[in-house]
Amino acid sequence: MKITKLPFYYNSHNTPSNGGRPDILPFNLVFDEELKMFRQIPTRELNDILKSVYDEGSLVDGSLSSNSGNHYIPKIIDYIEQHFELNSKRRILEIGYGTGLFLNELKSRDVKI
């Protein structure tokens, strides 16, 4: 699966700026037969960006199950709504973390989970 424009968030920002990093990166998901799992195909660009933000000590500052992570939900939902129509015929498989806050938001929009 290839998504050519996926938002890249590496830290909390109060402005649309992403701290000098790209706002959008391509995302390529494959099933790794050796590891028997889905994973993102690494690219040199992605590896360089991740190395730089990790070297700065930057980690996403909260899961979607904590108050510090709640501000990500509207950003993620906005992105999805810009690219897909959310309705009762749409089905979404969310593979992620947290306690279901993101899924509850989708369900409130009449999306089948």
For residue 6, the tally of other CB atoms under 10 A from its CB is: 15
Q: Is the pLDDT of residue 58 over 80?
A: no
**What pLDDT was estimated at residue 54?**
79
Which of helix, strand or coil describes residue 38? Answer: strand
Domain boundaries, the chain: 1-61, 62-113
Q: Is the pLDDT of residue 97 over 60?
A: no
Which of helix, strand or coil describes residue 23? Answer: coil
Q: Tell me the per-residue pLDDT of 1-32, one tens digit each, with 9 for 90 and over.
A: 788 888 887 766 666 677 778 888 888 888 88
Q: In what order do the strands lie in the sheet with 2-7?
A: 2-7, 24-32, 37-40
